[in-house]
């Protein structure tokens, strides 16, 4: 029984049904999550503290740099108690991709949706393809799925080092430590790195110097490896970030032995680097925990995460909603929801029907609908579900108590869940449903990964689900996810060789004229479940008379940057900041840089470009913006 | 939604940029940072200062007078894909520009949110200095993403895209400043305004049919008469995403010229670097000869020309087929991706629906099928000839086990190959009767291996 808040239970055949006898079962005053601290209580507490304490600063960091896209974070910081009392995340960019998609031919969706994000630009093209395929009932041939898996593994190969070394890394670099955490520097100079034999840095201070922006060896090596992985992507997609090869029902890549070898030879160079990456991001948390135990709480949130899975089994994936629980659980990365450390489901239908998006603290009028009461299998759907969503914007002044962002608040079973690439490790490890592999094993609490030999020897590494998810663990998880994704790339490459041996050449289900004829004229509803560099990605699609009538994108940063919900629960960034102790040296309050908050925020790898959406209803402009928040009135 | 057509610079003498500035009024003061302390400055120094010791070069390395150039990067309605593309560039690379490590170039001080160490109000301080005329070096403004029509948003009390806050509200209150406003305020004194990517150059996907933000290009925003302080109109490097190297090469080419050693870079009538966008992508396409021979992909993934599965390459200005996407690797058609015209002002609406053959290809594919049906057998015939060593011709045998099933050419083919060879060798001066006296005369004839010992 995975739902605790929503009044949904399961019959003996495992189908979801609404618990009987509850009027307005989805009303926000009826199905309420347990909340520790209401918004009013939090505000009262802050107000009483402000009255007594002159050390409280109210500051808006706009823009936060070294993230992708535009984000501002407002904090109320108590420098005396060394705590962030309050925090509000606001994205400051608004665009119009969904509105542009609506009313179009579904064949436009892949290339237009791709432009939603250029940071991990391939993922939206793929998610759109999955949504269209489900709506049209066309499944790609195995080689098509395998090419997609190879592409998306390589894309993670670019995304993870970009974040770890260009965006997050400088927060742990010599330049920042000596200025914001001077007390740590002498320690770092004395601290010998346990993993020196792998990454080559003798002391933590050497390692931190290599993290310096632009001049540091690790920063530069990270940049080079993002390029190498992008070469692997463009061998298959033609260009990056917006791939030119994704088509409904497969890909249009011309796959030859040369293609596979060009991918293969580059992949071969990555494994040594992956070993160094994990060694670096194992040593950094070790040093910080040892230096000051409070680092356990920088960016801390409970273990409550969600992921729809990633990288399909080419033989199981059949593009149907009806069989999604079977093919979903065969993904290389298992779908799942973990609530307070407990894996409550791995079924895509549960993930889908528990999903809602709220606008109480966003510049919208309430606009849920009951257009679809059930999904295609008869499972109940909330009026706040993306298929039912119609959002009416109402720009206004910024008021932390009321509306302060263009963001909406996605929740699962009305709980605040987090998305991340590391969630893939967590779900897959706990579920133990991963396909058989010589390289990847899930143990229930950890992932055992075998790194093939490069110039450095073969080695087995193990990622353990952390007891406490914080900024350092997110970064460590990302480093292990890098290896995980590259091993999926390797497995998929081997599958491609196997298919080629069997003489398999087909990469798409339909040719262009058959595709045109296959566009259905009746109403179809579908969802593409996929992933991005930051985890979760879904595209919910409705089409009718061969035309897109509703299109809803939910990205990982939409989830993580979300504002308060109807019950006052802060979004993941906000919650993580409020849990973060102020450890930096603030003996002189004017020296307060807010580095601890920055480390917390950046560990989520915020990626704001694609968190902003709009859509129109009939006639009037009706905008639906998932996470675009504008920093003020 | 305001009617965008009434706001076009052609019908309205005021450009959208002027209109916005008129509405917002002049500004005189900037963010007061005294109460901020070190907030947002975790490294205790601006990125520019952190890099100064490594990035400063002497005149001999710079080849010219310019020591330093500031580059302000703003994102409008953007997906950040242009930034990502530029991080992939290596001709030259962005890190070599920032570190002053590319001989011949001044140091480029890039103010980019993905690169910089400072956050919050400090991040925008150099832009404030540029507005106030207090910057220590010339600056260029680079825009990624389309310009949102903030006049429309402002009318309903909101905005579309903002970067930072300034005390420009009523009574000096802090208010969000849109990237559109920054661009409008910085343009008059910029050394150059550079639009990167199809969104900024022409409007791109954010300004496609149905868009609610009034998104437009930098040229539309600043108007036809815009000139930078160096007298340059808006420079456009299109592509969705652009090729990173096209951008860094364009910047480098302008700087080579300004340093005095490079030629004046040529721009076409739309402000594109002419040497990069002067040709259609079809002209350098790896599949071009399939088109010529009338062979077309039918299924996705087929190796032939992609025109019938939706390629617009013959009418699209782009160089990806010759340059590659990143590190000279990739390219749309190289991988099997049909060109959808992502560099073009007509993108996307003039190219949709995708995966459908361009109607204009009808005539030329019919012709190339006809020509191809003649040319292809002739080429195959010559190709067979060229696949034979001269010695194998003499021996009437091919010494490869792979060729077992392959029959020797027919007598007719043999005669034809001889005829072809005769044609090829007409005018060959090796047949002139000069006496080759520097070697023994009984050695092997040219083109063959030593005579077999029978
Ligand atoms: S694939 Fe496109 S660019 Fe290449 S030859 Fe065919 S039509 Fe031209
Ligand atoms: S070939 Fe076409 S789709 Fe590819 S980059 Fe060039 S213009 Fe864009």
Indicate the burial class of A12 (C-beta count within 10 angstroms; 0-12, 13-18, 19 or more): exposed
CB B339 within 8 A of CB B313: yes
Q: Whole-angstrom Cα distance, residue B427 to residue A217?
A: 61
Q: What's the CA gap between A372 and A385, in Å, rounded?
A: 9
For chain A, give the percent of residues with pLDDT over 70: 94
Q: A598 is written with which tokens?
A: 């920055």
Q: What is the pLDDT of residue B77?
A: 87
The proportion of chain A whose per-residue pLDDT surpasses 90, expressed as a percent, equals 75
Task: Give the integer Cα–Cα distance in Å for A625 and B159.
Answer: 13
* B177-191: pLDDT as tens digits: 989 999 999 999 999
The domain made up of B279-387 has a fold known as Cytochrome-c3 Hydrogenase; Chain A, domain 2 (4.10.480)
Which range in A350-359, B12-21, B444-453 is most confidently predicted, on average pLDDT? A350-359
Residues of B in contact with A512 (CB under 8 A): 300, 308-310, 355-357
pLDDT at B99 exceeding the cut of 80: yes
Query: Pick from A234, A217, A233, A214: which is nearest to A273 by CA?
Result: A217
Closest C-alpha to B230, from B271, B188, B265: B188
Is the peptide bond between A586 and the residue preceding it cis, with omega within 30 degrees of 0? no
Q: Show the tokens assigned to A175.
A: 């330049």
Residue B357's pLDDT is what?
Answer: 92
Predicted structure pTM score: 0.93
For residues B396-410, average pLDDT: 76
A446 reaches B (C-beta below 8 A) = no
Q: What is the 3-state secondary structure (H, E, C) of A465-489?
A: CCCCECHHHHHHHHHHHHHHHHHHH
Over the stretch B237-283, which tens digit does the pLDDT of each residue have?
999 999 999 999 999 999 999 999 999 999 999 999 999 999 999 99
Q: What is the pLDDT of residue B403?
A: 66
Instruction: Name the residue ranges covered by the structural domains of chain A.
Output: 54-630
CB contacts, 8 Å: B330 with chain A: 231, 233-235, 237-240
B220 by Cβ neighbours in 10 Å (0-12 / 13-18 / 19+) ranks as: buried
Mean pLDDT of all residues in B278-295: 96
Put simply, the answer to whether B162 touches A92 (Cβ < 8 Å) is yes
**Rounded average pLDDT over A329-358:** 97
> What pLDDT score does A95 carry?
64
Q: Please list every residue in chain A whose beta carbon sits closer than 8 Å to the beta carbon of residue B332.
A: 238-239, 244
Contact flag B325-A107 (C-beta cutoff 8 Å): no
Burial class (CB in 10 A: 0-12, 13-18, 19+), A244: buried
The pLDDT tens digits for A242-260 are 999 999 999 999 999 999 9
Which among A395, A387, A421, A433 has a CA at the least distance from the CA of A544? Answer: A387
Of B82, B120, B210, the CB nearest to A99: B210
CA–CA separation, A595 and A177 (whole Å):
10
Instruction: Say whether pLDDT at A172 is over 90.
Output: yes
With a cut of 80, say whether residue A99 has pLDDT above it: no
d(CA B24, CA B17): 11
The residues that bridge with B85 in the sheet, in sequence order, are none
Residue B342 Cβ < 6 Å to ligand 2 = yes
Q: Residue A403's pLDDT is what? A: 76
* Category of A605 on φ-ψ map: left (φ > 0), alpha (ψ -120 to 50) or beta: left
Q: Higher-confidence residue: B193 or A102?
A: B193
Q: A102 — contact with chain B (CB < 8 Å)?
A: yes
CA-nearest residue for atom 8, ligand 2, is B342
Whole-number Å distance between alpha carbons of A300 and A399: 26
Ligand 1 pocket test, candidate residues B302, B313, B357, most atoms within 8 A of CB: B313
Confidence of residue A61 (pLDDT cuts 50, 70, 90): confident
With bands split at pLDDT 50, 70 and 90, how would you rate the model's confidence at A336? very high
Atom of ligand 2 nearest to the CA of B318: 6
Return the pLDDT at A609. 67
Residues in chain B: 454
Q: Is the pLDDT confidence value at B118 over 60? A: yes
**CA–centroid distance for B347 within its chain:** 15
Q: How far is CA A626 from the centre of its chain?
A: 14
B414 has a pLDDT exceeding 80: yes
Spatial CB neighbours of A486, under 8 Å, sequence gap ≥ 6? A153, A156, A157, A267, A270, A271, A274
Is B454's pLDDT higher than 70? no
| pLDDT at residue A394, as a whole number | 67
Q: Which contiguous run of DSSP H or E holds residue A91?
A: strand A83-91
Comparing alpha-carbon positions, the chain A residue that sits nearest to B162 is: A92
Q: Which residues neighbour B315 within 8 Å (Cβ) at sequence distance 6 or greater?
A: B280, B282, B341, B358, B360
Write out chain A residues lying below 8 Å of B117, CB-based: 65-66, 170, 175-176, 213
Reading the block at residue B82, the tokens are 């242009």
d(CA A345, CA A347): 6
Q: Is B131 in the pocket of ligand 1 (CB under 6 A)?
A: no
Choosing from B300, B317, B333 the residue with most ligand 1 atoms within 8 A of its CB, the one to mutate for a pocket test is B333
Give ipTM to 2 decimals.
Answer: 0.92
Give contacts of B 237-276 with A, CB under 8 A.
240-241, 243
Percent of chain B at pLDDT > 90 equals: 65
Residue B346: band (very low, low, confident or very high) from pLDDT cuts 50, 70, 90? very high
Segment A409-428 shows an average pLDDT of 97
Cross-chain Cβ contact A591/B348 below 8 Å:
no
β-bridge pairing B192-196 and B139-144:
parallel
Predicted confidence at residue B108, as pLDDT, reads 95
Tell me the three state secondary structure of residue B143: strand
The closest ligand to the CA of B357 turns out to be 1
Q: What is the pLDDT of residue B393?
A: 87
pLDDT higher than threshold 60 for residue A344? yes
Q: What share of chain B is helix, strand, coil (3-state, %, to 5)?
A: 40, 10, 50
Identify whether the C-beta of residue A530 lies closer than 8 Å to the C-beta of residue A130. Answer: yes
Residue A97 has pLDDT above 80, yes or no: no
Q: How far is CA A339 from CA A307, A412, A413, in A?
A: 12, 10, 10
- Name the helix (H) or strand (E) containing A58: strand A56-61
Is the pLDDT confidence value at A619 over 50? no
Tokens of B11: 């019908």
Please tell me the distance in Å from B453's CA to the nearest CA on chain A: 41
Average pLDDT of A572-593? Answer: 93
Residue B453 has pLDDT above 90, yes or no: no
The backbone region for B228, taken as left when phi is positive above 0, alpha when psi lies in -120 to 50, beta otherwise, is: beta
- Mean pLDDT of the residues in chain A: 91
Pairing assessment for the beta strands A409-412 and A355-358 based on DSSP bridges? antiparallel
Higher-confidence position of A393 and B375 = B375
Question: Using one digit for the tens of pLDDT, what is the confidence trace for B441-452?
Answer: 765 555 444 444
Q: What does the pLDDT read at residue B449?
A: 47
Distance CA B377, CA B368 (A): 14
Residue A391 has pLDDT above 80, yes or no: no
pLDDT averaged over every residue in chain B: 89
Chain A residues within 8 A of B38 when measuring between CB atoms? 590-593
Cβ neighbours of residue A98 under 8 Å, at least 6 residues apart? A551, A552, A553, A613, A614, A615, A624
Answer yes or no: do B336 and A254 touch at CB < 8 A. yes
Classify strands B192-196 and A83-91 as parallel, antiparallel or unpaired: unpaired
Mean pLDDT of A341-360: 95
Within 10 angstroms of residue A58's Cβ, the number of other Cβ atoms is 13
Give the pairing type, strands B68-75 and B107-111. Answer: parallel
Residue corresponding to tokens 């499944």? A139
Q: How many residues does chain A have?
A: 633
CATH value of A54-630 in 3.40.309.10, 1.10.645.10, 1.10.10.10, 3.40.50.2300: 1.10.645.10
CB distance from A68 to chain B under 8 Å?
Answer: yes
Is the pLDDT confidence value at B317 over 80?
Answer: yes
Q: Over 60: is that where the pLDDT of B161 sits?
A: yes
Write down the residue that tokens 């990847």 correspond to.
Answer: A440
CA B130/CA B148 separation, integer angstroms: 22
The pLDDT value recorded for residue B175 is: 87
Residue environment code for A441-478, b if the CB has 16+ CB neighbours within 10 A, otherwise e: bbeeebbebbbbeeeeeeeebebebbeebbbbbbbbbb
The pLDDT of residue B12 is 61
- For residue B159, is pLDDT > 80? no
Collapse the DSSP code of A20 into the 3-class scheme (helix H, G, I; strand E, B; otherwise coil) and give the result.
Answer: coil
Question: Domain limits of chain B?
Answer: 2-277, 279-387
CA within 13 Å, CB half, B294 = 16
Average pLDDT over residues A291-301: 97
Assess whether the C-beta atom of B307 lies below 6 angstroms from ligand 1.
yes
The architecture of the domain spanning B2-277 is: 3-Layer(aba) Sandwich (3.40)
The CA distance from B321 to B328, in Å, is 10
pLDDT reported for residue A297? 97
Pairing of strands B68-75, B139-144: parallel
Write the DSSP assignment of B301-368 as a string of letters.
T-SSB-GGGT--GGG-B--HHHH-SBTTB--HHHHTPPP--TTSTTTTGGGPSSSS--TTHHHHHHHH
């Amino acid at each position: 029984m995975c739902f605790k808040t929503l009044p949904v239970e399961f019959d003996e055949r495992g189908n979801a049904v609404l618990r009987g006898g509850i009027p307005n079962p989805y009303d926000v005053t009826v199905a309420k999550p347990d909340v520790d601290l209401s918004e009013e209580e939090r505000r009262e507490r802050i107000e009483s503290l402000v009255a007594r304490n002159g050390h409280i600063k109210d500051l808006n960091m706009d823009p936060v740099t070294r993230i992708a896209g535009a984000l501002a974070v407002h904090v109320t910081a108590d420098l005396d108690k060394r705590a962030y009392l309050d925090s509000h995340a606001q994205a400051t960019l608004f665009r119009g991709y969904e509105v542009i998609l609506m009313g179009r031919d579904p064949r436009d969706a892949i290339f237009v949706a791709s432009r939603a994000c250029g940071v991990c630009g391939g993922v939206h093209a793929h998610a759109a393809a999955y949504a269209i395929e489900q709506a049209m009932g066309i499944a790609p041939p195995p080689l098509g799925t395998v090419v997609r898996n190879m592409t998306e593994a390589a894309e993670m190969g670019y995304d993870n080092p970009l974040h770890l070394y260009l965006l997050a890394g400088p927060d742990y670099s010599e330049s920042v430590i000596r200025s914001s955490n001077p007390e740590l520097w002498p320690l770092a100079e004395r601290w010998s790195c346990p993993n020196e034999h792998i990454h080559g840095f003798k002391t933590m201070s050497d390692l931190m110097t290599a993290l310096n922006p632009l001049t540091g060896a690790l920063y530069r090596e990270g940049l080079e490896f993002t390029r190498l992985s992008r070469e692997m992507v463009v061998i298959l997609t033609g260009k990056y970030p917006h791939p030119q090869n994704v088509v409904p029902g497969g890909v249009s890549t011309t796959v030859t032995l040369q293609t596979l070898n060009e991918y293969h030879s580059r992949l071969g160079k990555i494994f040594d680097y992956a070993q160094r990456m994990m060694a670096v991001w194992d040593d950094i948390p070790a040093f910080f925990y040892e230096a000051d135990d409070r680092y356990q709480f920088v960016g801390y949130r409970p273990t409550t995460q969600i992921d729809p899975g990633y990288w399909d089994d080419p033989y199981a994936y059949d593009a149907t909603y009806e069989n999604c629980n079977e093919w979903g659980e065969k993904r290389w990365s298992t779908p799942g929801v973990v609530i307070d450390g407990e894996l409550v489901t791995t079924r895509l239908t549960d993930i889908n029907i528990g999903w809602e998006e709220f606008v109480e603290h966003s510049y919208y009028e309430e606009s849920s609908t009951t257009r679809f009461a059930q999904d295609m299998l008869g499972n109940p759907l909330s009026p706040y579900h993306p298929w039912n969503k119609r959002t009416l914007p109402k720009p206004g002044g910024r008021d932390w108590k009321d509306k302060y962002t263009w963001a909406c608040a996605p929740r699962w079973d009305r709980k605040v869940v987090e998305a991340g690439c590391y969630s893939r490790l967590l779900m897959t490890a706990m579920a133990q449903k991963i396909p058989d592999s010589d390289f990847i094993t899930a143990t229930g609490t950890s992932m055992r990964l075998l790194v093939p030999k490069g110039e450095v020897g073969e080695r087995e590494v193990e990622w353990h689900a952390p007891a406490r998810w914080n900024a350092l663990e997110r970064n460590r998880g990302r480093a292990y996810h890098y290896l995980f994704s590259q091993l999926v790339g390797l497995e998929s490459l081997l599958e491609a060789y196997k298919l080629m041996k069997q003489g398999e050449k087909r990469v798409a289900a339909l040719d262009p004229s058959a595709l045109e004829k296959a566009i259905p004229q009746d109403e179809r509803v579908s969802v593409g479940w996929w992933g991005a560099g930051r985890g979760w990605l879904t595209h919910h699609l409705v089409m009718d008379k061969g035309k897109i009538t509703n299109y809803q994108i939910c990205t990982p940063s939409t989830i993580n940057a979300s504002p308060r919900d109807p019950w006052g629960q802060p979004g993941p960034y906000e919650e993580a900041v409020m849990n973060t102790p102020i450890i930096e040296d603030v003996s002189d309050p004017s020296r307060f840089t807010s580095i601890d908050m920055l480390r917390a925020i950046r560990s989520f790898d915020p990626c704001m470009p694609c968190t902003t959406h709009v859509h129109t209803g009939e006639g009037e402009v009706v905008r639906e913006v998932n996470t675009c928040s504008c920093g003020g009135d | 939604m305001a009617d965008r057509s009434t706001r076009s610079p052609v019908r309205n003498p005021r450009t959208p940029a002027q209109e916005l500035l008129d509405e917002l009024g002049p500004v005189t003061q900037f963010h007061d940072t005294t109460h901020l302390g070190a907030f947002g400055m975790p490294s205790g120094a601006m990125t520019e200062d952190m890099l100064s010791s490594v990035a400063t070069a002497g005149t001999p390395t710079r080849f010219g007078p310019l020591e330093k150039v500031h580059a302000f990067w703003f994102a409008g309605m953007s997906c950040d894909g242009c930034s990502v593309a530029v991080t992939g560039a290596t001709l030259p690379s962005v890190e070599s520009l920032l570190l002053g490590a590319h001989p011949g170039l001044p140091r480029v001080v890039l103010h980019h949110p993905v690169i910089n160490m400072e956050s919050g109000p400090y991040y925008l301080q150099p832009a404030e200095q540029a507005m106030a005329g207090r910057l220590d070096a010339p600056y260029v403004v680079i825009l990624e993403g389309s310009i949102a029509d903030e006049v429309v948003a402002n009318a309903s009390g909101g905005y579309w895209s903002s970067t930072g806050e300034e005390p420009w509200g009523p009574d000096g209150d802090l208010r969000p400043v849109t990237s559109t406003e920054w661009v409008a305020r910085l343009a008059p004194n910029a050394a150059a305004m550079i639009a990167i990517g199809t969104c900024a150059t022409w409007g791109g996907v954010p300004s496609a049919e149905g868009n609610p933000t009034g998104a437009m290009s930098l040229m539309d925003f600043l108007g036809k008469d815009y000139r930078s302080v160096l007298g340059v109109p808006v420079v456009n490097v299109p592509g969705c995403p652009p090729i990173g190297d096209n951008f860094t090469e364009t910047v480098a080419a302008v700087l080579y010229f300004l340093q005095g050693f490079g030629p004046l870079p040529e721009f076409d009538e739309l402000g594109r670097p002419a040497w990069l966008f002067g040709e259609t992508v079809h002209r350098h396409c790896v599949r071009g000869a399939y088109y010529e021979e009338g062979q077309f992909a039918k299924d996705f993934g087929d190796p032939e020309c992609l025109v019938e599965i939706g390629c617009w390459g013959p009418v699209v200005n782009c160089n990806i087929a010759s340059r590659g996407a990143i590190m000279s690797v990739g390219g749309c058609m190289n991988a099997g991706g049909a060109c959808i015209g992502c560099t073009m002002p007509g993108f996307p609406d003039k190219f949709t629906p995708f995966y459908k053959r361009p109607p204009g290809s009808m005539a030329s594919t019919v012709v190339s099928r006809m020509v191809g049906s003649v040319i292809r057998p002739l080429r195959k015939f010559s190709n067979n000839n060229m696949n034979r060593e001269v010695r194998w011709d003499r021996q009437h045998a091919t010494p490869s086990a792979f060729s077992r099933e392959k029959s020797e050419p027919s007598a007719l083919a043999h005669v034809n190959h001889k005829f072809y060879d005769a044609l090829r060798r007409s005018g060959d001066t090796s047949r002139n009767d000069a006496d080759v006296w520097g070697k023994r005369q009984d050695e092997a004839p040219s083109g063959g291996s030593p005579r077999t010992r029978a």
